[in-house]
Amino acid sequence: MLVKATGMSLKLNVGIKELHRIATPGEVFEVTPLRYEVLSGKNKYKAVFVTLAKEEKVEEPVKAVDEEPVTGRIPYQTDAVEEPTAKEETVVPEDFFEGIEPEKKEEHIEPEKVKKSKKAKKEVEEN
């Protein structure tokens, strides 16, 4: 909502949070409805820092539209209906994969077992 600053923030030397500075009298800015309540009197200063700014409604002239006869059809709709086309099959030449080797699966290698010392075994058991 648009609000208009009163001279109170300048008089009390109090900054407006939304502006990050002290508002000049008559300055127009936007705040939320909750923030408007605070700035309009429900604050520790019991001061009115803003008033509602009258929003000027600009009336745009109505453009005259040429009336088209109602035919029940979508504009620019044609009478012709396209026949669905058959899906084309992708043809791969026989020698396409020539020279390409299939991917090899990596062999799973078991990790070697490491002998642990007696001291290391005790540490593992303690934890």
Domains of the chain by residue range: 2-52
Residue 5: how many CB atoms within 10 A of its CB? Answer: 22
- Quick one: DSSP state of residue 16? B
29, two tokens: 């800015």
Question: Is the Cβ–Cβ distance between 28 and 52 less than 8 Å?
Answer: no
- What is the model's pLDDT at position 47? 93
Distances (CA, A) of 78 to 14, 26, 75, 81, 124: 68, 59, 9, 8, 81
- What is the model's pLDDT at position 18? 87
Tell whether pTM > 0.75: no
Query: What is the C-alpha to C-alpha distance for residues 26 and 10, in angstroms, rounded to an integer?
Result: 11
Query: What is the C-alpha to C-alpha distance for residues 127 and 119, in angstroms, rounded to an integer?
Result: 13
Residue-by-residue pLDDT tens, the chain, 127 positions: 899 999 899 999 999 888 889 999 999 999 999 999 999 999 999 999 999 987 655 566 666 655 656 666 666 656 666 666 666 677 777 777 677 666 666 666 666 666 667 777 777 777 6
